[in-house]
Amino acid sequence: QELRCQCIQTQSDFISPKFIAKVLIIPEGAHCNRKEIIVTLKDEKLICLDPEAEWVMDIIKKIV
Amino acid sequence: QELRCQCIQTQSDFISPKFIAKVLIIPEGAHCNRKEIIVTLKDEKLICLDPEAEWVMDIIKKIV
């Protein structure tokens, strides 16, 4: 179980779903006072997304 | 990068968001021909959810 926030900064620029291999959503909790959305790209890069950016929810809806 | 599907079976029964520590969404791809949603519960248990179950999307929307 992570004991702190995972993201130091978040990216708000759009990322096309075709580059996304995984989306990890971590609700806020005792370990971190903000929700975090971390995508793993197909090139294995990890990027923290801005949970407030509208396109983020759109992408999640598209994937699910 | 996983080389195959992660979920052998999925659970359709409702899980309250308060028990969920993480939600991992894996779009279908070369490695697996179906999308997968894996939640980590606060007791560290891993459960594969049915992506078609309506409450799953509702929970994701609630968390994001």
**Residue range A7-49, pLDDT digits in tens:** 999 998 999 999 999 999 999 998 899 999 999 999 999 999 9
The predicted model scores a pTM of 0.92
Instruction: For residue B25, name the pLDDT band (cuts at 50, 70, 90).
Output: very high
Residue B42 has pLDDT above 80, yes or no: yes
Residue A2 has pLDDT above 80, yes or no: no
Verify whether the Cβ–Cβ distance A63 to B24 is below 8 Å.
Answer: no
For residue A64, the distance in angstroms to the closest alpha carbon of chain B comes to 6
Residues of A with CB under 8 A from a CB of B: 1, 17, 20-27, 29, 35, 37, 42, 44, 51, 56-57, 60-61, 63-64
Q: What ipTM, to 2 d.p.?
A: 0.91
Go through B5-39 and write b for each residue having 16 or more CB atoms within 10 A of its CB, e for each that does not. eebeebeeeeeeeeebbbbbbbbebeebeebbbbb
Verify whether the Cβ–Cβ distance A24 to B27 is below 8 Å.
Answer: no
